[in-house]
Amino acid sequence: MLAAFIWGRRRPPQISGLASISMPNCTKPRRAHRRSRKSKCRQSCAAGVAILYCPEIMQTSRLAVFHSKDRPITYETVVVPPLREGEILVRNEYTTLCRSDLTTFSGKRIEKTPTILGHEIVGRIEELGPDAPTQDGRGARLRVGDRVTWAIYASDPCSHLARRGIPQKGEGLFKYGHEQIRPDSTLHGGLAEYCILRRHTPVIHVDQQVPLTVSALINCSVATVAGSLRLAGEIKDQNVVIAGAGMLGVVACAMSRNAGATRVIAVDIDDARLAAAREFGADEVVKLSPTQPLKEQLAARVPGEAVTVALDFSGVSGTMEALLGALGTGGILVLVGAVSPQRPLQINAEQVVRKLHTITGLHNYNLPDLVAAVEFIEHNHTRFPFARLVHDKFDLDSVNEAFNYALVSGAHRVGVRTCTKPGSE
Ligand SMILES: [Zn+2]
């Protein structure tokens, strides 16, 4: 039996009181770890090697581990491994539960498990690994203690798709909050004390004046909406219709208003969400009706043929078809919400041709979108009431409660405070 004692990373003195350590997929017989039970050392197992370590001197991280929809999230504690080339250790401060986290938790979406959910994260740099990037995505120096956001992805920047501006689908793709926990890869989600940012992860400073509840939204909701506006092209002086007034929809209202849209029109089935859209810059709201087509409802608010940009965050087939039917000549429809299996859309190709329509899709975002998202929030976090959209009552000890509340409350976002140490607001 091969055994090793790891002395590599000494824990900082403020971390104490951690109880149990365990790792998934450990198949070593317990006698292999007998030595650890005689001392204060504990056992872990990685890559077929039994590892003995001492929790009194090693830095550890608590994780909220998701197994399946049929089991509550459990808690584990793991050793923070020595950083590899290009990596950055971040202490997670705040994570908001995104819609995709909820669909995984409720079993509508299947991820490889066990996993750590949470990818709308903000945190502070704890350590820069060997050859870690020295500058962020805006060229500012990265230092220990900086508050940062980072892309949901890491991928090879030289890959074909990355060079085409689609790094979120590039080779070697690694997605925070979506990866399986393995012996050599444990810290990659928001619902944990720490996250290790892999090589080639875009990282950007966030102004510390932005509340944690709002800065956490940047690296999924806001960056994705920034990407949808990039694809839509010119927003200034355009009539923009936004379907789905959830988190992404209201962010899209605010970003379209900020970009100088002539009219911003929000579409949803829920009155409360439409009211929120008005607070975020929507000039008009339309409640979808089974009896009156969307095209007719829009025609009563803007002149015919005047809708030139339509953004769909609803993911509902009928709504996407209605948006296309309401689109004026030369208009563009950007599909963002359709991330679940559904029936094919019925599209009148002749109308697409004669009206010179463009239909495009977006999944996640790239670095310029993330930069645009950070800058939008830094300039507008007090202009629009983002903080009011985040239910801020949970911490890392109450992750199951946070998910259950998010599923029944209809809140735009439910937040989890992952760190309560001094230095976090
Ligand atoms: Zn998300």
pLDDT digits (tens, 9 = 90+) for 214-241: 999 999 999 999 999 999 999 999 999 9
Please, are residues 416 and 393 in contact by the beta-carbon 8 Å criterion? no
**How far, in Å, is the centroid of ligand 1 from the Cα of 248?**
10
What pLDDT digit, counting tens, does each position of 318-372 carry?
999 999 999 999 999 999 999 988 899 999 999 999 999 999 999 999 999 999 9
Residue 2: pLDDT above 90?
A: no
Domain ranges of the chain: 1-58, 65-211+381-417, 221-361
Q: Computed from CA positions of residues 213, 215, 229, 280, in that sequence, does the dihedral angle turn out positive or negative?
A: positive
DSSP-derived pairing of the beta strands 413-417 and 390-395: parallel
Query: Quick one: DSSP state of residue 131?
Result: T
Q: How much is the pLDDT for 58?
A: 83
Predicted confidence band of residue 1 (pLDDT cuts 50, 70, 90): very low
- Ramachandran assignment for 296, one of left (phi > 0), alpha (psi -120 to 50 degrees), beta (any other): alpha
Q: How much is the pLDDT for 43?
A: 57
Please state, in angstroms and rounded to a whole number, the distance separating the CA atoms of residues 39 and 66.
31
**How far, in Å, is the centroid of ligand 1 from the Cα of 178?**
10
What pLDDT digit, counting tens, does each position of 253-311 carry?
999 999 999 999 999 999 999 999 999 999 999 999 989 999 899 988 887 668 999 99
Residue 158: pLDDT above 80?
A: yes
- Mapping DSSP to helix (H, G, I), strand (E, B) and coil, where does residue 203 land? strand
Give Cα separations from 360 to 169, 311, 367 (angstroms): 16, 10, 19
State the first-to-last Cα distance of the chain, in angstroms, to the nearest integer: 47
**How far, in Å, is the centroid of ligand 1 from the Cα of 336?**
12
Give Cα separations from 191 to 66, 119, 206, 415 (angstroms): 10, 8, 20, 10
- Specify the amino acid at residue 180: Q
Is the entire prediction scored with pTM above 0.75? yes
What pLDDT digit, counting tens, does each position of 90-139 carry?
999 999 999 999 999 999 999 999 999 999 999 999 999 999 999 999 99
**How far, in Å, is the centroid of ligand 1 from the Cα of 152?**
8
Return the CATH number of the domain spanning residue range 65-211+381-417: 3.90.180.10
Please state, in angstroms and rounded to a whole number, the distance separating the CA atoms of residues 169 and 348.
30
**How far, in Å, is the centroid of ligand 1 from the Cα of 292?**
32
Tokens matching residue 310: 């339509």
Please, are residues 360 and 384 in contact by the beta-carbon 8 Å criterion? no
**How far, in Å, is the centroid of ligand 1 from the Cα of 375?**
19
What pLDDT digit, counting tens, does each position of 365-421 carry?
999 999 999 999 999 999 999 999 999 999 999 999 999 999 999 899 999 999 866
DSSP bridge partners of 63: 76, 192
Residues 6+ apart with CB under 8 A from 70: 107
Please compute the mean of the pLDDT values over residues 41-58 and round it to a whole number: 53
Predicted confidence band of residue 44 (pLDDT cuts 50, 70, 90): low
**How far, in Å, is the centroid of ligand 1 from the Cα of 55?**
34
**How far, in Å, is the centroid of ligand 1 from the Cα of 98?**
5
Return the CATH number of the domain spanning residue range 221-361: 3.40.50.720
**How far, in Å, is the centroid of ligand 1 from the Cα of 148?**
17
Q: Which residues of 56-80 are buried (b: 16+ CB within 10 A; e: fewer)?
A: eebbbbbbbbbeeeeeebebbbbbb
Average per-residue pLDDT for the chain: 89
- Mapping DSSP to helix (H, G, I), strand (E, B) and coil, where does residue 21 land? coil
Please compute the mean of the pLDDT values over residues 65-71 and round it to a whole number: 96
Q: How much is the pLDDT for 306?
A: 87
**How far, in Å, is the centroid of ligand 1 from the Cα of 216?**
11
Please, are residues 142 and 135 in contact by the beta-carbon 8 Å criterion? yes
Q: Which residues surround ligand 1, an ion (CB under 5 A)?
A: 98, 100, 220
Q: How much is the pLDDT for 171?
A: 97
Q: How much is the pLDDT for 5?
A: 34
